[in-house]
Structures are given as C-alpha cells and as structure tokens.
Amino acid sequence: MASTTLLAVLLLVAASAAPARSCSPRDLQALLSVKQALGNPSTLSTWTPASPDCCSWDHLRCNDAGRVNNVFIDGADDVRGQIPSAVGGLTELMSLTLFRLAGLTGPIPACLAALSNLQFLTVSHTNVSGAIPESLARLRGLDSVDLSSNQLTGGIPASFADLPSLRSLDLGHNQLTGSIPAGLVQGQFRSLVLSYNQLTGPIPRDDARDEINTVDLSHNKLTGDPSHLFAAGRPIGKVDLSWNYLDFDLSQLVFPPEMTYLDLSHNLIRGTVPLSLERLSTLQKLDLSYNRLCGPLPKGHGVIKHGCKPYAHNQCRKGTPLAGCQDLEWSE
C-alpha cells in the first residue's frame, strides 16, 4: 500500500515536471495535410484529430515548446504521392526523413527551403525524380543531406558548396549529370558520396586542409588527375574512385598514412605502384586492379599484405608488366 502511494506521488511529480507540450494547431493542420497528400496511409493512422495532441503521434517528435521538430516516415509501402508541400508548414522541423518509400514520386518541392531550421534531410530509397532544387542551399543550417537511391536527374547545384555547416552529402545512386561543382569537396565535409551517377569532368581542386573521412565518387564518368585529394597534410580515411575514366600517373603519389580504404580500380591509371603504399599500415581495403599500371612492385609489407588481387588485370602500355606479385609473397 505504502509503495503504491509512493509510486503515485512519483508519477505525479514526474507529470508536473514534464514540460507542457500540447501540439501547436498550426503543426497539427500541416501534419493532417501531409497525411492526406500521402494517400492516408495506415502507417500514419495515429495522425488523427481524434487524438488532438499531435506530439503523441507516431513518426514524429516535438521540442519542449510543443512544435514538431522531427518527422521520420520509413519503410511504408502504402505511402503514395509526392512530397507534400504542406511539409513546408512545419517551420520548426530540424530533421526530415523519408526513407524506403517506393510509392513516393514526383519532384523534391522547392517549398522545403521554407524549413529554415532544417539540419538533417533524408529522402532516400524512393522514386522521387527531377532536379535537386537550388533553393535547398538557402537552408544554412544543413548538416547532413542524404538524397541517395532516388531517380534524381540534372546537375549538382553549385550553391551546395556554399553551405557553411554541411558535413555529409550523399547523392549516390541517382542519374545526376554534369560536373562536380568547384568547392564541393571542401574541408568541412566529413563525407562526400556521389557514387553511381553519370558525373563527368575532373574532380575539382581545392585547398582544404581539414579532415575528410569518406570520399566515394565511384561508378561515374570522371576524368583527369585526382592526386590533389591526397595532398600532403590532409587526413583522409576512405577513398573510392573506382569505375571512372581517371587517367594519371600514380608513380610519385604520396598517400596520407592514416588511410583505411583505397579503391582506384577500373580506371586508366598509368605509372607504377607508389612506394608510399608501403607505409599504409592501417589500410584495410586496397584495389588498383583493371588499370594500366606497370612494374616493378615495391617489396614492403604494406604492398604485399593485401595479396595479389589488388594488382590484377593491369595492362601496362609502356615498361615492365606489373607481374611477380606471387614471388614477393613467397619470399616474405
């Protein structure tokens, strides 16, 4: 009995300490419009005026002021329609996630640019198509943008390079064309993924010194010499530039010693395997296959610990063929 009373008191205290959060009527209206525009999916069955505190609904969170700041709709196969313009009415939204929604079609609406507090935007694994709106770059607080695995076409807006806090950009698995805007591969990025598109032209040069964890530009039609990505003093973790038309001499390249992943396979890379590879002690993945590299192979442990596969299928055009990997392994 005493413990029941204690529990009741505790619950009372907890309830009165919790911030008063009744959902803003404006957000409630916007959410109901969003639900309707998505075809009233059963996934959003808790979104109903019958329970008027929208902060208690599924697939969203509110801030302490009772404003919706996070909406996440994922894995729902009954969602049908376009990204509703009513989303633009959720003006306190910090995070919007629309993930694995095969029935989500049409363009990314320009009205998303009204979400001036947005930091995290994910529209991924959907059938959203059309161009990436230039106006998204008005969202100065954007920290992370994931628009991967959609049907997006057109170019990468150059204005994305001006976003001051963008640390992660993933536009992979779309049908984007044109070149990579200058300044996009900037220091403030921790991760830049543009793989599986149809991007052309060179990888733009920049003077950034900051850390980059991941650069994945694989499976495009990029050309030229990307050596500047590995510039001395720039810590970089994972680099995947495979399946492009990169044509440059690898012989003298000095890789940053902290690299963990390096895939340059399926390009037109010339020269020899650089000596700096010997010092990459933390490298877990290496692939230089399907290029035009020549021999001889440096003998250091960093070169041979990955076996022979990373050097296979190189068609040396001028010089000694890149062979003898097996011999090196046995002599270790």
Ligand X SMILES: *[C@@H]1O[C@H](CO)[C@@H](O)[C@H](O)[C@H]1NC(C)=O
| Shortest spacing between CB 129 and ligand X, in angstroms | 10
Distance of alpha carbon 246 from alpha carbon 65, whole angstroms: 52
| Shortest spacing between CB 149 and ligand X, in angstroms | 6
CA dihedral (11, 22, 79, 39) in degrees, to 10, reads: 130
CA angle 238, 193, 289 (to 5 degrees): 50
Closest CB to ligand X among residues 7, 102: 102
Peptide bond into 52 cis (omega under 30): no
Give 81's strand partners: 104
CA dihedral (132, 133, 137, 140) in degrees, to 10, reads: -100
Contacts of 237 by beta carbon, 8 Å cutoff, 6+ apart: 212, 213, 214, 258, 259, 260, 261
| Shortest spacing between CB 173 and ligand X, in angstroms | 9
The alpha carbon of 247 is separated from its chain's Cα centroid by a whole number of angstroms, namely 26
Closest CB to ligand X among residues 35, 125: 125
| Shortest spacing between CB 174 and ligand X, in angstroms | 11
* Placement of tokens 């990459």 in the chain: 280
| Shortest spacing between CB 80 and ligand X, in angstroms | 10
Closest CB to ligand X among residues 146, 287: 146
Closest CB to ligand X among residues 51, 127: 127
Closest CB to ligand X among residues 149, 267: 149
| Shortest spacing between CB 102 and ligand X, in angstroms | 3
Distances (CA, A) of 196 to 106, 166, 170, 242, 305: 21, 21, 11, 10, 29
Closest CB to ligand X among residues 43, 149: 149
Closest CB to ligand X among residues 116, 127: 127
Q: Both tokens of residue 191?
A: 């991760």
Closest CB to ligand X among residues 43, 126: 126
Residues that bind ligand X (CB under 6 A): 102, 125-127, 149
| Shortest spacing between CB 147 and ligand X, in angstroms | 12
Backbone angles phi and psi of 246, in degrees to 5? -65, 130
| Shortest spacing between CB 151 and ligand X, in angstroms | 8
Nearest Cα residue to 181 out of 207, 162, 153: 162
| Shortest spacing between CB 150 and ligand X, in angstroms | 7
Give 294's strand partners: 272, 321
Residue number of the CB atom closest to ligand X:
102
Asked if residues 49 and 25 have their Cβ atoms less than 8 Å apart, the reply is no
Closest CB to ligand X among residues 75, 321: 75
Backbone dihedral region of 113: left (phi > 0), alpha (psi from -120 to 50 degrees) or beta? alpha
Query: For 295, which DSSP code?
Result: S
